[in-house]
Amino acid sequence: PGFAVARKALWIFGKLLYHLVFPYLCVDLTLSEQIEHLSTAVHLCLVLYKLGGKNFIPTGLYIDLMIVIKNIIFCVAKAKVDNPSSEFWIVLLGTDRLETLFGILCTMVGNDSNLDLLQLIYCLAGTTEIANIFAKYPHW
C-alpha cells in the first residue's frame, strides 16, 4: 500500500513537471497546444498545493509558477489581439536584465539577506562583472 501511494504521488508529480516543461522542449507544438499544457500544469499545481500546501512546494515557488504562466497567457493574448496572424514563441519570454542581475546577487549573497549599502555596492559591481562574463561566454 505505501509503495502504491508513493508511486501514484510520483506519477502525478511527473505529470505536473511534464506539462510544465514540455511546451518549452517540443518545438512541434502549436501555440494552442503549448497553452493547453501550461494550463494543465497550473491546474495540477493548484490542486496539489490546495491538498499539500507548503509541504508540496514553498509558497513563493507556487506563486512564481502561477505568475509566470499567467504572464505567458497574457502576452500571447496581447500579441494575438495586436496582430492575429503573427507568430509567437513562449521560449522567447524571459526575464529582463534587472531580474538576472538580482538573481546573480542573491546567489552571491547567500544567507546574508541584510546587506548594508557598502556590501550592496561591492556585490552589484561583482554581479555586473559576472553578467558581462556570461554575456561574453554564453556556453558557460
The distance in angstroms from the start CA to the end CA of the chain is: 46
* Co-location of 86 and 123 in the same domain: no
If you ran DSSP here, which 8-state letter would residue 88 be given? -
Q: Which domain holds residue 129?
A: 97-136
C-alpha cell at 13: 508529480
Supply the pTM of this predicted model: 0.66
* Co-location of 74 and 30 in the same domain: yes
**Angle at the Cα of 79 (from 84 to 88), degrees rounded to 5?**
85
85-95 tens-digit pLDDT: 888 888 777 65
Determine phi and psi for 14, rounding to 5 degrees. Answer: -60, -40
* Co-location of 66 and 18 in the same domain: yes
What residues contact residue 29 under an 8 Å CB cut-off, 6+ apart?
Answer: 22, 23, 37
4-60 tens-digit pLDDT: 999 999 999 999 999 999 998 887 899 999 999 999 999 999 999 999 989 998 898
* Co-location of 87 and 132 in the same domain: no
